[in-house]
């Protein structure tokens, strides 16, 4: 399934069309790839890059997804002088984290006459464009979904903060790590705190490879003891 669009506008000459798409790919493909141009060798389409040449069919899922998406947008944009709107569901699919951070800004540069409406579960996508409107979909008390517009301050947060406050994922660590951390914290919440408590807690966290979470663990213990 692809984008379908019908317009009386005349399609540009093939060479200009071809070169124009190459220019788009120079803007949207990862800079680390160093895309230069296409080349046809033995009936195969090659991507010529600073990091080596490879056939188009051998590209990674992320690179292929960007090329396919860009091609569909390019075809429609070439047939329309006005602003157009492109809707993309889960734009982060198949993309490495570094690509997720740069994809939307790069698409905006490559297609200045396009308005993008995208859905995503990636905090790297959510915070990637400053001049944008971001809405989080949440459940209300009646278990119905409503949209909440985020302000600039919320968008300027780190990926972990966005995961917690926008996407509802309080921990980015594996579930088993979260359980071990909570077990240790709960142990000290339920006991009297003295001068050796945090020394012992640090030792226990270190034994299971969680010493880096000591500040978080201390905060939870102190906070719960103050409330009790």
Phi, psi of 36 (to 5 degrees): -110, -55
- Asked if pLDDT for residue 7 goes beyond 60, the answer is no
Phi, psi of 29 (to 5 degrees): -75, 150
Does the CA dihedral 112-102-66-118 come out positive or negative?
negative
On average, the pLDDT of the chain sits at 83
Choose the weakest-confidence range: 7-16, 29-38, 104-113, 196-205: 7-16
Query: Across-strand partners of 147?
Result: 137
Report helix, strand and coil shares of the chain as percent, to nearest 5.
45, 15, 35
Q: What is the pTM of this model?
A: 0.68
pLDDT tens for each residue of 47-67: 899 988 888 888 888 999 999
Measured distance CA(222)–CA(201) in Å, rounded: 13
| Cα R_g (the chain), whole angstroms | 25
Q: What is the CATH number of domain 15-132?
A: 3.40.50.300
pLDDT band at 123 (very low <50, low <70, confident <90, very high): confident
pLDDT of residue 1: 40
Task: Compute CA distances 2 → 5, 16, 73, 75, whole Å.
Answer: 10, 22, 10, 11
Determine how many CB atoms are found less than 10 A away from the CB of residue 80. 13
Nearest of 127, 117, 130 to residue 89 by alpha carbon: 117
Query: Across-strand partners of 37?
Result: 48
Conformational region of residue 141, where left means phi above 0, alpha means psi within -120 to 50, and beta covers everything else: alpha
Measured distance CA(209)–CA(177) in Å, rounded: 9
Q: Are 39 and 9 in contact (CB under 8 A)?
A: no
pLDDT of residue 6: 47
Q: What is the largest CA-CA distance in the chain?
A: 80
pLDDT of residue 16: 85
- The larger pLDDT score, comparing residue 49 to residue 152, is at 49
SS3 146: strand
Structural domain boundaries in the chain: 15-132, 175-227
Section 140-159 average pLDDT: 76
Choose the weakest-confidence range: 25-34, 67-76, 133-142: 133-142
- Asked if pLDDT for residue 109 goes beyond 90, the answer is yes
């Amino acid at each position: 399934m692809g984008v379908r669009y019908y317009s009386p506008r005349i399609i540009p000459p093939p060479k200009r069309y071809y070169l124009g798409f190459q220019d788009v790919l120079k803007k949207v493909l990862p800079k680390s790839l160093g895309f230069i141009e296409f080349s046809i060798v033995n009936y195969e389409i090659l991507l010529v890059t600073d990091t080596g040449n490879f056939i188009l069919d051998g590209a990674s899922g992320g690179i292929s997804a960007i090329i396919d998406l860009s091609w569909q947008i390019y075809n429609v944009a070439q047939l329309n002088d006005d602003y157009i709107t492109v809707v993309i569901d889960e734009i982060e699919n198949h993309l490495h984290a570094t690509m997720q951070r740069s994809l939307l800004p790069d698409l905006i540069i490559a297609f200045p006459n396009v308005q993008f409406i995208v859905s995503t579960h990636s905090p790297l996508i959510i915070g990637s464009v400053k001049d944008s409107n971001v809405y989080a979909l949440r459940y209300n008390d009646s278990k119905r979904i409503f949209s909440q517009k985020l302000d600039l301050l919320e968008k300027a947060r780190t990926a972990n903060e966005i995961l917690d406050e926008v996407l509802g994922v309080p921990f980015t660590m594996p579930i088993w790590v979260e359980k071990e951390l909570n077990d240790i914290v709960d142990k000290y919440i339920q006991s009297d705190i003295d001068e050796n408590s945090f020394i012992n807690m640090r030792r226990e966290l270190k034994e299971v490879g969680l010493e880096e979470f000591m500040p978080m663990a201390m905060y939870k213990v102190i906070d719960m003891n103050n409330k009790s």
